[in-house]
Structure 1
Amino acid sequence: MTETHGTRDAAPGNRPSLPHDEVLLASVEHVGELLKTRALSPVELTKAALNRVNRLNPRLRAFVHVAAAEALEAATQSEKRHRRGEALGPWDGIPVSVKDICAVAGLPLEAGSAVLRGHVAAYDAEIVRVLRGTGAVILGKTSLDEFALSTSGPARNPLNTALSPGGSSGGAAVAVATGMSFADIATDTGGSVRIPAHCCGVVGLKPTHSLLPLDGIVPLAHSLDHVGILTRTLGDSASFLAALQPGDGPAVPADVPAFSSLRVGVVPQLPIRSDAVRRDYEHLTQVLRAEGADVREVSLPNLDAVSAVHMTVLSAEMSRYHRQRFGPKESRYGDGMTAVCEIGADVSTEAYTAAREARGELCRAIDRLLEDVDVLALPTLLIDVPEADRATVTIAGIEQLVTPAMVRLTSLFNHTGHPAVTVPLAANPGEQPSSVQLVAPYHQERRLLAAAQRIRAGMASR
């Protein structure tokens, strides 16, 4: 068994008010009303989603396993609950997907690697167990980079197939962006939810560390791993997170705070290597000020030092897990896994301990910063979205590994554990996408998503 973190018929009534493809791209709030009024049935909705997967997935490679029979059975049970007026909540009957690093009983758990090829999970990850309790319909497993070590992955960016979809949750972002799935349970160890969200134009939320359980998920680096979610809208993100935390989950409040009461931290001296990112970030800052937000200039910890800490902790924890689980002579890894495992094997106990101590300083620095602002507003990437399948990227005339360049502004918050969300501001086919990454104090997902609603609305009005 793979070691992991911890242990039919359509309902009667009117036909849908939108064609199926439009329903699949609608908000869960809207689709939920169709299900509630029986204008649409969970079985109908699931069949439409499966048809869309069959049509789009051969080109976009978002899914590595489609569980059609299991999904239709879950949809049938959901339909019975809806008929009895006993729906489990707003996600009952909604088609969703799960990144193929999370155990789903009876489905493959291969983590994008030849090392686990043919492995089938014997039990559900804890987050999947919770997901089943919402009544959501699991369509299947989405593709990823090997063991979630981010590069470009097998999925194809629906905005521009020449560009990376982001890693490692690229399949998750593609599935959600294209209406194959309404939401995806994914993981984020250095930016693997937020970066694909930026690349594909969806919402990627990394909650506070350990807010969503890691039990039953194949680890990449155990102290950095977060369970995150991808959705198309902020409302869906809030609703999904609330459904995954029954009783006390956060939700965007009805009265989103006015700009005049919003304190936003911005960082004027960022090493941005993209004209598009620089222009978008400057425009964001201008809009915030024009809308009346209290914009405060702040400084981040040294990003070179953060990158050094990240590589030390990531490689050491990853190498230790893989050598203990699969042995030091495992030869089926791809080049990236092999290289990072070798780097991690050379990290001394003293170097790892020093890096973990440095993380404590990073946590305290961000805590102090967030005492004076409600949210911190940053770009998600400092570079343009790289070309697909590229291992390197040229920055200031120097060829660099693509993954460290992409995680420079995201990995910091895996080390500190603060909640962070990437919110798309523009995602036009053929163009570089635009997003903002917002960060809030621990366990302030409600504040984070409310501020995101206000900021996105303000940007849309400009």
Structure 2
Amino acid sequence: MGLVSTLLPFRDAVVRFRAGSCSPREYLEQAIEHVTQAEPTLEVFAHLDLESARKLADASTERYRQGQVLSPIDGMPMGIKDIIDTSDMPTQMGSEIYAGWRPMADAACVQALRLGGALSLGKTRSTEFAIGRATITRNPHDTGRTPGGSSSGTAAGVASGMFCAGLGTQTQGSIVRPASYCGVVGYKPTWGALPLNGVHSVSTSHDHLGVIAESVESAWQVARWIAQKTPILFRHGLNGAPDHELPPKPVRRLAVLRTAGYSELDEGSLAAFEGQLQAWRAKGIKIVEPCEDKALSMFCAEVEQIPAASMSMVAHEMQWPYLSYLENHGKLVSEKIHHLVQQGAGVDRLQYERLLRLRTSLGVQVQALGEYYDAFVLPAASGVAPVGLENTGSRTLVVYSSFLGLPACSLPLLQVNGLPLGVQFMGSRNGDYRLLGHAQWLMTAQST
């Protein structure tokens, strides 16, 4: 049974808000209708607060009436992943340890959303600490399948029309993969481009804050606003962008990132991906395979090290705070996290430093290639969403950008036996504005 639904695109809704033909409160009520219809089955929310959302919508409606709009996301219905602190709602991390826990302050990203007038409907379900046991959320395209993890509720909520965009996090594949499974846009910015203050840690070297949304433009608007309203130490691809607008940027040359991970794709998923590459060739886009570029071929061979290296780094960095969780609340923590902490304890300092050097070396290679290619392209997941809720999907094809800290997005371009599969685009470090401009152009080109 599918429960896929859509709201009027937020870009179009804003036009109506300004014209007075629709209000943020009326728009929110349309979203709430989708919540009422789908939430009992999908179980997107760990905590739902519709009355507070209505109050925020009323305030937004008045601002539009008076011509005092706060931001490009004023009046946008949103969800917030439940590992991100909110002072007015519980933050429970998908864990029994934090059942009912209420932070004293908002995360920096949540504070930014409030300053921009976004309408938070509630906290979206996450896997345990965004890396452990799966949650109970179901995929709107097929309720017998996972929506992917760990940003499970955010992806399912966007796909079912409950909100336009939501905050997610990605340590290895937790934005790009669920977006792929649910047929929506997932955007993971350059590492460090968005603040993690008030976001529960998994891995200091891998954790990214990002956005899952109904469109590339909505994802960009949310991320760009957060970047603008929070302190940064360095200039990143969002903060250095010229504007909140995202004009389409034509794509000329794409590099196919082919790895052993393609062996995880079933025949139908691989055929759909190859068909998309062929369609782009027919539109005049240069699609370059590793066999056609020695430097690209060497890089594809080198990234085979990433899945194992990434897991070692993540497990090592999980010693805090997870070792304390195991010592104090061990019976409430999943076996998966027990195993990861044990694995991390076996990674010594010299091994960890070698992993850091590998990341730096591969980063140099990919930046050099990025001077020649508009983006790297590969599937956004190892096939469509798996059956059942326990297996939230393989990380193999989505971990490369997380390990390297590169911007990546999943675009809902493919269908395999009636189920969505995303195409993943990976850009150069701090090249977020460029990458999403290309993504915007490709989505437009797909519909023409």
- When normalised by structure 1's length, the TM-score is 0.86
Give the 3 Å change call, closer, same or farther, for CA 160–141 of structure 1 in structure 2.
same
1:67 is matched with which residue: 49, 52, 59?
Answer: 49
Bigger helix fraction: 2
Q: Which stretch shifts more, 324-333 or 147-156?
A: 324-333
Equivalent position amino acid for 1:408 in 2 = T
Q: What residue is the counterpart of 1:422 in the other structure? A: 410
Q: What residue is the counterpart of 1:411 in the other structure? A: 399
Is 1:279 the counterpart of 2:271 in the alignment? Answer: yes
2:197 is matched with which residue: 215, 219, 229?
Answer: 215
Equivalent position amino acid for 1:416 in 2 = L
Q: CA deviation at 1:371?
A: 2.2
Give the 3 Å change call, closer, same or farther, for CA 174–427 of structure 1 in structure 2.
farther
2:288 is matched with which residue: 293, 296, 304?
Answer: 296
Deviations 1:118-172 (A, max 9, x none): 1111101001111111101111000010000066432100111222211000110
Is 1:265 the counterpart of 2:252 in the alignment? Answer: no
Q: What residue is the counterpart of 2:369 in the other structure? A: 369
Equivalent position amino acid for 2:268 in 1 = A
Give 1:19-418 correspondences, 5 Å limit.
25-149=7-131, 152-246=134-228, 249=241, 251=244, 253-254=246-247, 256-259=248-251, 262-268=252-258, 270=260, 271-273=262-264, 274-297=266-289, 298-299=296-297, 300-324=300-324, 327=327, 330-391=330-391, 406-418=394-406
Give the 3 Å change call, closer, same or farther, for CA 148–27 of structure 1 in structure 2.
same
| 1:251–1:446 contact (8 Å) kept in structure 2 | no
Equivalent position amino acid for 2:433 in 1 = R
2:439 is matched with which residue: 452, 456, 460?
Answer: 452
Deviations 1:186-228 (A, max 9, x none): 1011010000000000000001111110000001112100001
Deviations 1:385-424 (A, max 9, x none): 3222244xxxxxxxxxx75xx1112111111111000001
Q: CA deviation at 1:347?
A: 2.4
Q: Distance in 2 between matches of 1:337 and 1:45?
A: 41
Q: Which stretch shifts more, 65-74 or 235-244?
A: 235-244
Give the 3 Å change call, closer, same or farther, for CA 431–87 of structure 1 in structure 2.
same
Q: Distance in 2 between matches of 1:104 and 1:65?
A: 11
Q: Which stretch shifts more, 378-387 or 442-451?
A: 378-387
Deviations 1:237-284 (A, max 9, x none): 222233323385565644x3445xx12111356533321221122112
Q: What residue is the counterpart of 1:11 in the other structure? A: none
Question: Cα RMSD over matched residues?
Answer: 2.3
Q: Distance in 2 between matches of 1:311 and 1:257?
A: 35
Q: Structure 2: state its 5+ residue gaps.
A: 229-238, 290-295
Q: Distance in 2 between matches of 1:304 and 1:439?
A: 16
Equivalent position amino acid for 2:141 in 1 = L
- When normalised by structure 2's length, the TM-score is 0.88
| 1:276–1:432 contact (8 Å) kept in structure 2 | no
Q: Distance in 2 between matches of 1:384 and 1:48?
A: 29
Give the 3 Å change call, closer, same or farther, for CA 335–322 of structure 1 in structure 2.
same
Q: Distance in 2 between matches of 1:328 and 1:318?
A: 15
Equivalent position amino acid for 2:323 in 1 = R
Secondary structure, counterpart of 1:272 in structure 2: helix
Deviations 1:6-36 (A, max 9, x none): xxxxxxxxxxxxxxx98x6121111111222
Q: Distance in 1 between matches of 2:196 and 2:271?
A: 37
Equivalent position amino acid for 2:121 in 1 = L
Aligned residues, how many?
A: 424
Q: Distance in 2 between matches of 1:296 and 1:353?
A: 34
| 2:186–2:212 contact (8 Å) kept in structure 1 | yes
| 1:272–1:278 contact (8 Å) kept in structure 2 | no
Q: Distance in 1 between matches of 2:107 and 2:389?
A: 30
Q: What residue is the counterpart of 1:5 in the other structure? A: none
Q: Distance in 1 between matches of 2:67 and 2:13?
A: 16
Identity fraction in percent = 28
Q: Distance in 2 between matches of 1:236 and 1:390?
A: 30
Q: CA deviation at 1:53?
A: 1.6
| 2:132–2:336 contact (8 Å) kept in structure 1 | no
Q: Which stretch shifts more, 32-41 or 322-331?
A: 322-331
Q: CA deviation at 1:359?
A: 1.6
